[in-house]
Amino acid sequence: MAVFVSGVSLPATLFASLGGTVSTVESDRVRMKSALVGIDQRGAYTVHSLQAPTGTTIREYYGPNGLVFGVSWQGPWQPDLRQLFGDYFDRYQAGVQRARRARGPRGRVAIDDGTLVVKIGGHQRAIAGVAYVPQLIPAGVDPGVVK
């Protein structure tokens, strides 16, 4: 049905989010059928808040260079992570696979492979996650702002 997010594959650059340019925030908004509910300028970085119709809130953090350095989400359902992580989605999946092999945490995600940091916690119907790329964080900004 057309009303749902479909599996149409688009060029990765068109819906790169994490690591993409601020223009991809608009692409995320459209793709996730979300409303842009806030733009918050916080000095060295800016936060766009999106509200997905499933009830999940998504935030995208970008710096003066226009690159998205972090994303976060909170709500009853996981967002489209391929969309949100863009070119970092494969790296995220590899991190999840590694955690399954080792004595890894279950019931949550904690990835830090030096390039990408992803933390997802919560339970069914109450999920919260953050992801950021340390190298893209503007100088002087603490990674903890992504929340």
| Binding region for another protein (CB under 8 A) | 1, 3-7, 9, 33, 53-55, 76-83, 89, 92-93, 96-112, 119-130, 144, 147
Task: Compute the least distance from the CB of residue 135 to another protein, in Å.
Answer: 19
The CB density around residue 24, as the number of other CB atoms within 10 Å, is 24
Beta-ladder partners of 127: 75, 122
Question: Is the Cβ of residue 55 or residue 66 nearer to another protein in the bound state?
Answer: 55
Question: 129 with 69: CB under 8 angstroms?
Answer: no
Task: Compute the least distance from the CB of residue 67 to another protein, in Å.
Answer: 22
Question: Is the Cβ of residue 64 or residue 86 nearer to another protein in the bound state?
Answer: 86
State how far the alpha carbon of 65 is from the alpha carbons of 15, 44, 102, in Å: 18, 10, 37
In the numeric block, which tokens belong to residue 136? 């893209």
Question: Is the Cβ of residue 45 or residue 92 nearer to another protein in the bound state?
Answer: 92
CA–CA distance, 92 with 81 (Å, rounded to integer): 9
Comparing C-alpha atoms, which of 94, 107, 42, 97 is closest to residue 70?
A: 42
Question: Is the Cβ of residue 109 or residue 141 nearer to another protein in the bound state?
Answer: 109
Task: Compute the least distance from the CB of residue 65 to another protein, in Å.
Answer: 25
Task: Compute the least distance from the CB of residue 27 to another protein, in Å.
Answer: 14
